[in-house]
């Protein structure tokens, strides 16, 4: 059997928090949701916001909090998840697609070129551990920023640039494959009182049915309490897999800078061979893998090198491998062997 691709970093003792919530006879939205939201916001340097059961609802609420009107354009990288397209449909917002840069982050160069299309905001989605060297070029666009750190939470570039620092509104989902998992749900936070008020107003329209339940929040609180340990283990594994990748013919997806502290959300490489052949090779050696960007907006633009020259390689040839704290030594060694022999 191939190594399991995802496994949330939950220990049996973590379930005590959930059991206590049940003992308290309060499993719906309540004090633990508030505590989780406060802890999360504080961790990324924000003030307050909302925590909901659905990632899509959080995206919609964030777009509405920017008071975007029908037909308003929003810049978004083609490596962003296609769930954003549904959020745009629900809000009437028009996506203005932009390329990624060489590390997979939204291209500021392409975003600047698209300013002629009069965008009203930018979605800055940070895929597979990535965070920029600086957020200043992003802020110089002069647009409201929704920064999505679902896959970059905890990543740091150098001594100062942390995921979550760039956004006027910062989004993160907490599914089972996340660095922090509540078993589902998402949050949007800000430091701007006006935007916080608008986020809460949006969430109140469906409350309490859209609010994150206390049972889920309890899991998040426990994991945030040990996030430094979780991140250290994930980063350690990421570095081990990077060393294996350097022996191969595959290219690391994202930044290879030694000053980049990756949160270890996942590990992805861009192969020179056919991705299916590389994945078959992995399975033969007991390692699961998958195409990295099959659920991205750009999945339908794999032949548009003319529009998205940087994004085409990850869209067509990036594959991901398991990375989580519960990987056994033998599993880690199997992944290293496979990665080191990729073409």
pLDDT-wise least confident of 21-30, 150-159, 191-200, 254-263: 21-30
Q: Domain end: 225, 252, 276, which one?
A: 225
pLDDT of residue 27: 47
Given a cut of 90, whether residue 9 has pLDDT beyond it is no
d(CA 143, CA 146): 10
pLDDT of residue 1: 66
Rounded to two decimals, what is the model's pTM? Answer: 0.94
76 in the same domain as 219: yes
Phi/psi of residue 124, nearest 5 degrees: -110, 90
Q: Structural domain tally of the chain?
A: 2
Q: Domain end: 186, 209, 225, which one?
A: 225
- Identify the helix (H) or strand (E) that includes residue 303: none
Given a cut of 90, whether residue 13 has pLDDT beyond it is no
Which tokens go with 148?
Answer: 């999505």
Dihedral sign computed on CA atoms, order 214, 218, 219, 223: positive
The CA angle 327-156-6, to the nearest 5 degrees, is 25
CATH number for 260 = 3.90.1150.10
231 in the same domain as 218: no
Given a cut of 90, whether residue 202 has pLDDT beyond it is yes
Given a cut of 90, whether residue 176 has pLDDT beyond it is no
288 in the same domain as 152: no
Q: Domain end: 201, 225, 249, which one?
A: 225
Q: Which residues contact 26 (CB under 8 A, 6 or more apart)?
A: 32, 214
Q: Which domain holds residue 184?
A: 12-225
Q: What is the pLDDT of residues 255-270, one digit of tens each?
A: 999 999 999 999 999 9
Q: Which residues contact 138 (CB under 8 A, 6 or more apart)?
A: 108, 122, 124, 132, 145, 166
Could you tell me if residue 95 is inside a domain?
A: yes
Q: What is the pLDDT of residues 205-238, one digit of tens each?
A: 998 889 999 888 988 998 899 999 999 999 999 9
Mean pLDDT calculated for residue range 12-17: 59
Q: What is the pLDDT of residues 284-303, one digit of tens each?
A: 999 999 999 999 999 999 99
Phi/psi of residue 173, nearest 5 degrees: -100, 160
* Helix pair angle (55-65, 193-204), 10° resolution: 130
Query: Within 10 Å of residue 239's Cβ, how many Cβ atoms?
Result: 13
């Amino acid at each position: 059997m191939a190594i399991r691709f995802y496994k949330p970093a939950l220990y049996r003792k973590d379930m005590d928090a959930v059991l206590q919530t049940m003992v308290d006879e309060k499993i719906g939205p309540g004090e633990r949701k508030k505590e989780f939201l406060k802890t999360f916001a504080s961790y990324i340097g924000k003030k307050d916001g909302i925590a909901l059961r659905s990632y899509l609802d959080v995206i919609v609420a964030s777009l509405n909090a920017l008071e975007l009107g029908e037909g308003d354009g929003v810049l978004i990288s083609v490596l962003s998840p296609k769930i954003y397209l549904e959020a745009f449909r629900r809000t009437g917002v028009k996506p203005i697609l932009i390329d990624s840069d060489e590390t997979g982050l939204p291209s500021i160069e392409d975003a600047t070129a698209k300013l002629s299309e009069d965008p009203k905001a930018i979605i800055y989605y940070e895929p597979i551990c990535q965070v920029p060297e600086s957020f200043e070029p992003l802020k110089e666009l002069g647009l409201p920023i929704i920064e999505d750190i679902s896959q970059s939470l905890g990543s740091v570039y150098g001594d100062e640039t942390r995921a979550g620092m760039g956004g006027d509104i910062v989004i993160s989902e907490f599914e089972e494959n996340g660095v922090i998992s509540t078993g589902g749900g998402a949050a949007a936070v800000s430091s701007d009182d006006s935007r916080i008020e608008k986020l809460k107003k949006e969430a109140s329209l469906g409350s309490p049915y859209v609010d994150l339940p206390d049972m889920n929040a309890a899991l998040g609180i426990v994991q945030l309490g040990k996030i430094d340990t979780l991140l250290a283990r994930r980063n350690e594994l990421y570095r081990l897999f990077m060393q294996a990748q350097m022996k191969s013919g595959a290219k690391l997806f994202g930044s290879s800078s030694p000053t980049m502290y990756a949160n270890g959300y996942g590990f992805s490489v861009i192969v020179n061979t056919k991705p299916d052949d590389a994945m078959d090779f992995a399975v033969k050696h007991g390692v699961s893998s998958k195409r990295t960007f099959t659920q991205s907006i750009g999945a339908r633009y794999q032949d548009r090198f003319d529009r998205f020259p940087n994004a085409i390689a990850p869209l067509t040839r990036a594959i991901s491998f398991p990375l989580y704290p519960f990987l056994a030594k033998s599993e880690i060694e199997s992944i290293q062997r496979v990665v080191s022999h990729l073409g």
